[in-house]
Amino acid sequence: MTMIAEQGAPAPAAARTPLLAVRGVKTYYGNIIALKGVDIDVHRGEIVTLIGANGAGKSTLMMTIFGKPQAREGSIVYDGRDITRMPTHEIARLGIAQSPEGRRVFPRMSVYENLQMGASVNNLAWFDEDLEKVCTIFPRLRERLQQRAGTLSGGEQQMLAIARALMSRPDLLLLDEPSLGLAPLIVRQIFEVIREVNAREGMTVFLVEQNAYHALKLAHRGYVMVNGLITMSGTGRELLADPQVKAAYLEGGHH
C-alpha cells in the first residue's frame, strides 16, 4: 500500500513519539476478556478513526484509556506519561476529553450547567469565550441554554455531549459514535466540526464510528477492530479502498 496524505493535511511523521500510545492492552469484564492486546498510536494533530462491528470492543477501548475499566495488561502512555493505572479524574485533567457512548449528558442539569461541567477541569477559566464558540458551532444549544438537558432531543443531546467535551479545551478529543441516531444533515455538520477543530486548533481527534465511510474519509488514519483485536490499519483512503473493509463496513452505507 502506498502512503497517501489525506485532504492535503500534513502527513503525520511516524518517527515522532505518539501523543497517545496504546500497547498490548487487555481489558476484562470480570473474567470475560473484551480487549485481547490492542496496539494503537495517535499522533499530535491527527484524526484517527476506529471502526468495527457491534461488540468488537471499541467503547471498551475508549473507556480503558480513561481507566474505567482499567487495563489488566499492557500500557497506555499519553504525552509521555503512563496513565494505565491513573484514576479517571486525573486523566481528565491531563487534557484528554471524551464524549462517551450514549452521550451521558446530565439530565437534570441545564444545558448551561452541562457546559460548565465540561469546563470544570480549567475552573471555568475560559468559559465565556468557549461558550460563545460552541454556541456558534451548535446554534441550537444557544437557544436552549436554560433547558434541562434530559428534555433535549437525541440529536441535541449529542451536540451537547460534543460541546461539553470541547469546553475543556482538550489536546486529545475522544468521540464515541458522535453521529449515532442523527439526521444526515446533522451528521455532516458534526463531521465538519471535527474537521474544523482539527484543522484550525490542531486538536487531535480519536474517533469511533459506525458511519465508516464518512469517518474514514475524514480521518488521516484508521484502525479496524474485530473481537477485541486490531486486524487492520492504514490511511483513511487505504482502508476505504480495501475490499474486506468495503465488504464488512461499507456495503451500501455511503451517501
Ligand X SMILES: Nc1ncnc2c1ncn2[C@@H]1O[C@H](COP(=O)(O)OP(=O)(O)OP(=O)(O)O)[C@@H](O)[C@H]1O
Among positions 158-187, residues that touch another protein (CB under 8 A) are 164, 168
Site stretch for Mg ion (CB under 5 A), options 18-26, 51-59, 110-118, 192-200: 51-59
Q: How far is the CB of 233 from another protein (least distance, A)?
A: 26
| Residue from 19, 21, 34, 230 in contact with ligand X (CB under 6 A) | 34
* Spatial separation of the C-alpha atoms in residues 169 and 177, rounded to whole Å: 20
7 binds another protein (CB under 8 A): no
Q: What is the largest CA-CA distance in the chain?
A: 51
224 binds ligand X (CB under 6 A): no
* Spatial separation of the C-alpha atoms in residues 99 and 92, rounded to whole Å: 12
* Other CB atoms within 10 Å distance of the CB of residue 145: 14
Q: How far is the CB of 104 from another protein (least distance, A)?
A: 4
Q: How far is the CB of 61 from ligand X (least distance, A)?
A: 7
Closer CB to another protein, 4 or 125, in the complex:
125
Backbone angles phi, psi at 205, to 5 degrees: -125, 130
Among positions 87-146, residues that touch ligand X (CB under 6 A) are 101
Among positions 91-120, residues that touch Mg ion (CB under 5 A) are 101
40 binds ligand X (CB under 6 A): no
Q: Cα dihedral angle (23, 207, 101, 173), rounded to 10 degrees?
A: 90
Q: How far is the CB of 177 from ligand X (least distance, A)?
A: 7
**Grid coordinates given for 127:** 468559559
* Spatial separation of the C-alpha atoms in residues 167 and 16, rounded to whole Å: 28
Sign of the dihedral defined by the CA atoms of residues 219, 231, 176, 72, in that order: negative
| Residue from 59, 75, 116, 189 in contact with another protein (CB under 8 A) | 116
Q: CB under 5 to 8 A by kind: which of Mg ion, another protein, ligand X, none does 236 bind?
A: none
**Grid coordinates given for 218:** 475524514
113 binds another protein (CB under 8 A): yes
CB burial readout 32-66, b (16+ within 10 A) else e: ebbbbebebbbbbbbbbbbbbeeebbbbbbbbbbb
Residues with Cβ within 8 Å of residue 101, at least 6 apart in sequence: 59, 62, 176, 177, 208
| Residues within the interface to Mg ion (CB under 5 A) | 59, 101
| Residues within the interface to another protein (CB under 8 A) | 66, 68, 87-89, 92-93, 97-98, 100, 102, 104, 106-109, 113, 116-118, 120-121, 123-124, 150-152, 154, 157, 164, 168
| Residues within the interface to ligand X (CB under 6 A) | 29, 32, 34, 52, 54-60, 101
